[in-house]
Amino acid sequence: MSIGLAIAVAVTFTWLGMVTAISFLEAPLKFRAPNVTLQIGLGIGRLVFRALNSVELIFGIVILAVFLASPPSVGVSVAFGIAFTALIFQLVAVRPWLNRRSDKVLAGLNAPRSRGHYAYVGFEAIKVIALAVTGILLLSSQS
């Protein structure tokens, strides 16, 4: 296995693990903790997801650089492209929408529940599947 491929595999599965752990474990569970108000949960969530999305962007760029240096199969390219595109949609379209609502809640206003979370979770699910496929295809390409 080449160094570039090893890096792409490691980064892909690390990214997958981070998204799964944070989006599908930490995020929903924090609101069940004793004394965590909506404002505290939103404040923590904004910090955690800002950090996660920053790391995801770096991971995506690293994988893209590896793929530019050594182009993968079409299947790997498509799966990675889906994951990276889902991230971009989250950053450009969904996160600003969610931030506007959380700004209101953090300011003490009574904002209605946002459907933006459903869009974000949908993109997270797409990303998880696409990253798993990317990693598996990368590993199987070296058999």
Dihedral angle, C-alpha 56, 129, 23, 47, nearest 10 °: 10
Q: Residue 102's pLDDT is what?
A: 86
pLDDT the model gives residue 38 = 86
Residue 107 sits at the vertex; the CA angle it makes with 104 and 110, to the nearest 5 degrees, is 55
CA–CA gap between residue 45 and residue 47 (Å, rounded): 5
98 Cα distance to chain centroid: 15
The number of C-alpha atoms within 13 Å of 115 and in the hemisphere containing its C-beta is 0
Note down pLDDT in tens along the chain; length 143 residues. 799 999 999 999 999 999 999 999 998 899 899 999 888 998 999 999 999 999 999 999 999 999 999 999 999 999 999 999 999 999 999 999 998 888 888 888 887 777 888 999 999 999 999 999 999 999 998 75
Alpha-carbon Rg for the chain, nearest whole angstrom, is 17
Place of tokens 């980064």: 11
pTM above 0.95, yes or no: no
Q: What tokens does 72 get?
A: 């993968």
Report pLDDT for 108. Answer: 84
Q: Are 137 and 73 in contact (CB under 8 A)?
A: yes
- Other C-beta atoms lying within 10 Å of the C-beta of residue 27: 20
Q: What single DSSP character describes residue 24?
A: I
Residue 141 pLDDT? 87
Other beta carbons within 10 angstroms of residue 137's beta carbon come to 19
pLDDT of residue 115: 84
Secondary structure letter of residue 107 according to DSSP = T
